[in-house]
Structure 1
């Protein structure tokens, strides 16, 4: 294992600003909302701030405040944060991000999880946190051959945790992190429990035919997602290389591709900056830009198109934090055939990027669930 520090060359940031200034813009949308995609006026405003006001070095320094490493697993370099708690009896916890997220999603929760006393909590709630970048994401390696799907990542994460000396750990994830964490739960290994903020749940036939009010609302959210919000998944799951050219070459294309999801998938009341600050969104977009991972991250959809629908039931204890603005909102009864659910929290607010949007709610729920298995 090699210590790692982020050090993006000035030339990369200078090139980013040049490309932003030289963007060839399309005409404006023909509606006065986001229904055709990210509006031109807001996109230009955000791009101008990215070029002239945003400072990547602030985020870089904050990330370098965590202990980071790179290790090779199954022939691929894997980048990860390994932040040990000052409390020696802390419980090991593996956090896995998704798309279009990154390790940046967990920046607000690593401190409270590893050192709860410093944030007004109890020493007995402490975790040793391991937060890897998915293959093809961030500073992890980009697979040069096919085969790096959810199953292989789950096995790699088990290798990582045992290599770090943890013979017993918990795992948490949302989005692709939920798929990976679910597979870790199926594999059992050294994991003793999983916590999810996007569990896999399919409504049974009888629910579709005669839903109650709660089921009708969940079905409507799923239908909305499939009809209006899932085009990215179809494109990345079938032709990731094609869309990847634009995502790697044009910072505005990458910006719009990701920020549209911050608008659509957060609990933001119509504007993404109600959920995340401008800098927070650009921290995440910039990480994708400086690592040129627009194509390699999209490829995970091609590798694992059926990861959310196939697989055996997870028999390990499973906790779920159900946020009201999640992109899909399965009910507990839909998820129970897939998991041994021992903890379910209906959150009062928040969306898809749980730790990013609602770090206190996220942290409290993770603590409460894993307290049962320390």
Structure 2
């Protein structure tokens, strides 16, 4: 069926039985290496020093093969509401959950890597139609980044964070949302920052868990804890960014393994869920096996291991160093997120109107999966502060909460 260039049409996820059988057969026939040479009994914070421990991987592969139910995740996506549209000749897939509330605010949420729309399935319903009638409600849009999930894979270079942000503005326009709020972390945080900086006529304000300071900031006035954050970030960039350098320079090379081997794909993604979550030993302390396998299986069935990795090639330096965000911004930095602990003074050099600054006591790089209830409350509070900053003093909220 053909569709008009700007048409939004419904989409249903349905893997073939043959693809699922093939996945199980590959898992059953997997060739595994010997155990790591830094073996320690669980639980132990250094157990993952050489990467995913063999015993953990074997257990998860067995569950993936014999216990995991992909069909339940497909059904969940369909219940939320899936759609596709074509922007700049690229098919974009997205979840869209309209609130039943007349005062709901349009919200676009962007995932990162190694995540996907699976990051948001546990929070979308509560954001759209909160159990508490006094809580703010949102019309939630959650697109799959180009090259991820059921979005198309770009066939040529150019789909960096700036082009993605512009595509999101067009997507929201097609849905009837001329003004909206934005949330994102990881690559979604980069897209969110670009949206706030480049499209203030459309973006009411932003909430991000990934605030990036401009380069060249001084450490002279930082507190002791902020100095510690800076050192942790430097250590991360020096000793824990091999995956990013590989994907930024040779995404095609690693892509062959990610698309051909489900065990290789699982290990490549699971390693980051483990390292970046706020846990002592294993990501499964806070994230369910099913949710991680929802994410990994989505990569596998859509064959997007290589195309998703290319976002690092497209935007190796992430943000324009001169980009400034003048719309109201709410920033939350979770303690277990080793990649994005930014001193407030540094953040303010880019985000000029910080209306809420939050440092939770727990949570890591994947807060919507690790601490979903807290994540929802924090997002509501942050976007509530953003919306309040846009209203004249003493004014009541508009009917649709959109200035």
* Superposition RMSD in Å: 1.5
* Cα offset, 1:123, TM superposition: 5.0
Contact 2:116-2:149 within 8 A present in 1 as well: yes
Contact 2:214-2:350 within 8 A present in 1 as well: no
* Cα offset, 1:182, TM superposition: 0.5
| Residue of structure 1 equivalent to 2:4 | none
Candidates 103, 110, 126, aligned match of 1:89: 103
Work out the CA distance in 1 between the residues paired with 2:322 and 2:299.
Answer: 30
* Cα offset, 1:355, TM superposition: 1.2
| Residue of structure 2 equivalent to 1:55 | 69
Counterpart check, 1:150 vs 2:161: yes
* Cα offset, 1:27, TM superposition: 1.5
* Cα offset, 1:348, TM superposition: 1.3
Counterpart check, 1:184 vs 2:195: yes
Work out the CA distance in 1 between the residues paired with 2:224 and 2:53.
Answer: 34
Work out the CA distance in 1 between the residues paired with 2:31 and 2:331.
Answer: 44
| Residue of structure 2 equivalent to 1:139 | 150
Counterpart check, 1:16 vs 2:23: yes
| Residue of structure 1 equivalent to 2:370 | 357
Greater mean deviation of Cα atoms: 38-47 or 296-305: 38-47
Change beyond 3 A, Cα 1:240–1:325? same
* Cα offset, 1:35, TM superposition: 0.9
Contact 1:95-1:131 within 8 A present in 2 as well: yes
Work out the CA distance in 1 between the residues paired with 2:99 and 2:37.
Answer: 52
Deviant stretches of 4+, over 3 Å: 202-206, 209-212
Unaligned runs of 5+ in 2: 1-7, 40-46, 388-400
Counterpart check, 1:103 vs 2:110: no
Candidates 172, 183, 196, aligned match of 2:208: 196
Q: Secondary structure at the match of 1:198?
A: coil
| Residue of structure 2 equivalent to 1:126 | 137
Q: Deviations over 1:124-172 (max 9, x none)?
A: 5110000000000000000001101101000000000111111210000
Work out the CA distance in 2 between the residues paired with 1:256 and 1:130.
Answer: 30
Pairs within 5 Å for 1:275-286 = 275-286=286-297
Work out the CA distance in 1 between the residues paired with 2:217 and 2:237.
Answer: 18
Paired residues, number = 370
Q: Secondary structure at the match of 1:129?
A: strand
Q: Deviations over 1:261-303 (max 9, x none)?
A: 1110011222111010111111111110011100000001000
Work out the CA distance in 2 between the residues paired with 1:334 and 1:184.
Answer: 20
| Residue of structure 2 equivalent to 1:371 | 384
Work out the CA distance in 2 between the residues paired with 1:38 and 1:257.
Answer: 9
Counterpart check, 1:344 vs 2:365: no
Work out the CA distance in 1 between the residues paired with 2:316 and 2:227.
Answer: 26
Work out the CA distance in 2 between the residues paired with 1:271 and 1:333.
Answer: 33
Work out the CA distance in 2 between the residues paired with 1:181 and 1:146.
Answer: 21
Unaligned runs of 5+ in 1: none
| Residue of structure 2 equivalent to 1:222 | 233
Work out the CA distance in 2 between the residues paired with 1:10 and 1:311.
Answer: 50
Work out the CA distance in 1 between the residues paired with 2:116 and 2:237.
Answer: 24
Work out the CA distance in 1 between the residues paired with 2:304 and 2:280.
Answer: 30
